[in-house]
Amino acid sequence: MHINFPLPLVAGHLIKRYKRFLADVLLDSGETVTAHCTNSGSMKSCLEEGAEVYLSPVNDPKRKTKFTWEMIKINNGWVGVNTSVPNLVAFEWVKVGLIPGLEGYTNVKREITFGDSRFDLFAENNSSKCFIEVKNVTLKEGDFALFPDAQTTRGQKHLQTLIRVKESGIRAVMLYIIQRNDVTVFAPAWSIDPDYAKLLVEAHSKGVEIIPFQVSINPTGISPLKTVPFSLQSP
C-alpha cells in the first residue's frame, strides 16, 4: 500500500539546516527557499550540505515557511526526515493489517491518552486492545538504525507509561518506523541517551513489544517494506 504525497514534491539541494526547525534549500529552479524541518533531533547521519532534497509545498497562509522538508539523499538512497510521516503511515497500515504483528485490528484511533501520556495510536478488536507509540528513526551507525538521535525525556515518559499500560492488562507496542534502507538491525542509541536505552530494556522485559519496521521512501511517496531484528545489548 503505497501512500502518495498529496502534492508533487519540489527538488533542490540542501544549503544548511539551522535553529533546529529551519533549512535553506536551493531549488532546481534557482530560487532559494526556507523550509520547515519537523525533526527536532540532531539529525546526525542524515545531514549533508549540498545533498539532494525534496520539499513538499504548503498552501497555508498562516505558515511562515511555504515548504516542508521531506527527504534527503544519503549514500545514494533517500532518508525520510519528516517526523509526521511515520504517524500517518502507521495509522493507515495498521488499519489494513500491513505491519507484521499488528494485524487484525478493526478500530484504529489516533492520539489517545492513557494516564499522563498521549499515544500515537490505539487499536482494538473484539478480543484485544493495544496502545502503540510511533517513533521516527533516521540515525545510522554501521548496519544499525538507532533511536533516539538526541536525548528525549518525552520518549522516556512514553516508555514508563507503556509499562503501566502492559501492567493494566492491555497490549503495549513501541513501533519504530525506519525511514532509510541502508540499515539491517535496530537498537537503542546507548551513547546518546543511556536512560532511554535502559528504559527500553526494562519495558521489553516487562512485556512491552518492540516492532522496528523499515519503509521505502522516494519522491512519489512511501511504501511498507519489512520488520527488522533488534538488539538491546549495550555496547
Task: Examine the fold and report which residue of 48, 80, 112 is the final residue of a domain before the chain moves on.
Answer: 80
pLDDT in tens, 32-68: 999 999 988 788 888 899 999 999 999 888 888 999 9
pLDDT in tens, 154-197: 899 999 999 999 999 999 999 999 999 999 999 999 999 999 99
The pTM score is 0.93
Q: Are 53 and 127 contained in the same domain?
A: no
pLDDT in tens, 7-21: 999 999 999 999 889
pLDDT for the residue numbered 1? 83
Instruction: Give a yes or no: residue 232 inside a domain.
Output: no
Cis peptide before 8 (omega within 30 of 0): no
Task: Examine the fold and report which residue of 40, 58, 80 is the final residue of a domain before the chain moves on.
Answer: 80
Q: Are 92 and 63 contained in the same domain?
A: no
Q: Is the pLDDT of residue 110 over 80?
A: yes
pLDDT in tens, 186-235: 999 999 999 999 999 999 999 999 999 999 999 999 999 999 999 998 76
* Bridge partners, 145 (sequence order): 140, 186
Instruction: Give a yes or no: residue 132 inside a domain.
Output: yes
Q: Are 147 and 207 contained in the same domain?
A: yes
**Alpha carbon distance 62, 1 (integer Å):** 32
Q: Is the pLDDT of residue 92 over 90?
A: yes
pLDDT for the residue numbered 235? 65
The residue segments making up the domain with residue 70 are: 3-80
Q: Residue by residue, what is the 3-state secondary structure of the chain?
A: CCEECCCCCEEEEEEEEECCCEEEEEECCCCEEEEECCCCCCCCCCCCCCCEEEEEECCCCCCCCCEEEEEEEECCEEEECCCCHHHHHHHHHHHCCCCCCCCCCCEEEEEEEECCEEEEEEEECCCCEEEEEEEEECEEECCEEEECCCCCHHHHHHHHHHHHHHHCCCEEEEEEEECCCCCCEEEECCCCCHHHHHHHHHHHHCCCEEEEEEEEEECCEEEEEEECCECCCCC
Task: Examine the fold and report which residue of 57, 80, 103 is the final residue of a domain before the chain moves on.
Answer: 80
The dihedral formed by the CA atoms of 17, 18, 23 and 29, expressed in degrees to the nearest 10:
-80
pLDDT for the residue numbered 89? 94
Instruction: Give a yes or no: residue 118 inside a domain.
Output: yes
Instruction: Give a yes or no: residue 234 inside a domain.
Output: no
Instruction: Give a yes or no: residue 123 inside a domain.
Output: yes
Count the domains in the chain: 2
